[in-house]
Amino acid sequence: MQAPLHPDEDQRLSALDAYDMIETPTESDFDDIVDLASRICETPVSLMSLLDKDRQWFKASVGTDTDSTPRENAICGHTILQDDLLEIEDTLNDPRTWDNQLIVEEHGMRFYAGVQLRTPQGLPIGTLCVLDDKPRKLTEFQRTALRTLANQVMSQLELRRTLRNQEILRGEMDHRVKNSLQTVQSLIRIYASKVSDPVATEAFAAVDRRLTAVVALHRELHQSSAVTRVRMQPFLSGILAHLSQTCPENVRVTSKIADFELSSAEATAVAVVLSECVANAIKHAFPDNRAGEISISFQYEPDGSVRLSCADNGVGKTDTPSEVAAMTSLGQRIMDASAQQIAATLDREAQNDGYRVTMTFTPVATGRPA
For the stretch 290-333, pLDDT in tens is 899 999 999 988 888 999 999 999 887 654 444 344 335 667 88
The rounded mean pLDDT for the chain is 83
Q: Quick one: average pLDDT of 195-213?
A: 68
pLDDT value at residue 246: 74
> Is pLDDT at 131 greater than 90 in this prediction?
yes
CATH second-level architecture of 9-161? 2-Layer Sandwich (3.30)
Higher pLDDT, 240 or 10: 10
Lowest mean pLDDT among 1-15, 166-180, 253-267, 298-312: 166-180
Domain ranges of the chain: 9-161, 196-361
% of the chain beyond a pLDDT of 90: 44
DSSP reduced 3-state for 301: coil
User: Per-residue DSSP letters for 192-229?
Assistant: HTT---HHHHHHHHHHHHHHHHHHHHHHHHHHSS-SSE
Q: Quick one: average pLDDT of 197-211?
A: 67
CATH pick for 196-361 out of 1.10.3720.10, 3.10.520.10, 3.30.565.10, 3.40.50.300? 3.30.565.10
Higher pLDDT, 306 or 180: 306
pLDDT value at residue 364: 82
Whole-number Å distance between alpha carbons of 159 and 282:
50
pLDDT value at residue 102: 75
Burial of 89 (0-12, 13-18, 19+ CB in 10 A): middle
Q: What is the pTM of this model?
A: 0.53
